[in-house]
Amino acid sequence: MGLAVGSTMPDFRLRDQNGNWFDSKDHIGQRPIVLFFYPKDFTPGCTAEVCSFRDHFEDFTDAGAMVVGISSDSQRSHRYFARRHRLPFVLLSDPKKLVRRKFKVSNRFMSLLPGRETFVIDKTGCVVLSFEALQASGHVKHALKIIKKIQENESLSPEV
């Protein structure tokens, strides 16, 4: 299991599918982040997972959240994958698995497959959900439930 709920999101900097830098520090304080680690572009389970995030993308953005996918695939692979499946969110390339290690996402199935784990990070950079499952299903449902709770709490909090 990855980073525990209550942990602070580690700082990281990776390139996205278009070659742009994504620095985690630039997003703290802006909005909640749904960060999901998946094993590999173009595999059946991973395609189902990212397409599920795509299909619910508007639900996440309407609730004020940013969606980001990470795997060890190359920027080029991510670019083709994002185009092929019309993905509206950022895919980050972590070829050396440095960010995967920072988030403590371990391998599964006799250590042969990279882990599949979804994190929800609130605006302050605190991990409020860590959901791990080998199957692709369930990640979107759990993340969206937490994002909606965050949105409800923000709308209930008094303005400063």
**What fold, for 44-155?**
Glutaredoxin (3.40.30)
Q: What is the pLDDT of residue 42?
A: 95
β-strands 33-37, 66-71 pairing: parallel
5-36 pLDDT per residue, tens: 999 999 999 999 999 999 999 999 999 999 99
Whole-structure pTM value? 0.91
Q: What is the pLDDT of residues 103-131, one digit of tens each?
A: 999 876 655 577 899 999 999 999 999 99
In percent, the amount of the chain with pLDDT more than 90 equals 79
Looking at residue 73, the DSSP 8-state letter turns out to be S
- Residues annotated as part of the active site: 46
The residue type found at 21 is W
* Domain ranges for the chain: 44-155
Reply yes or no on whether the pLDDT at 49 is more than 60.
yes
| DSSP-derived secondary structure for 78-101 | HHHHHHHTT--SEEEE-TT-HHHH
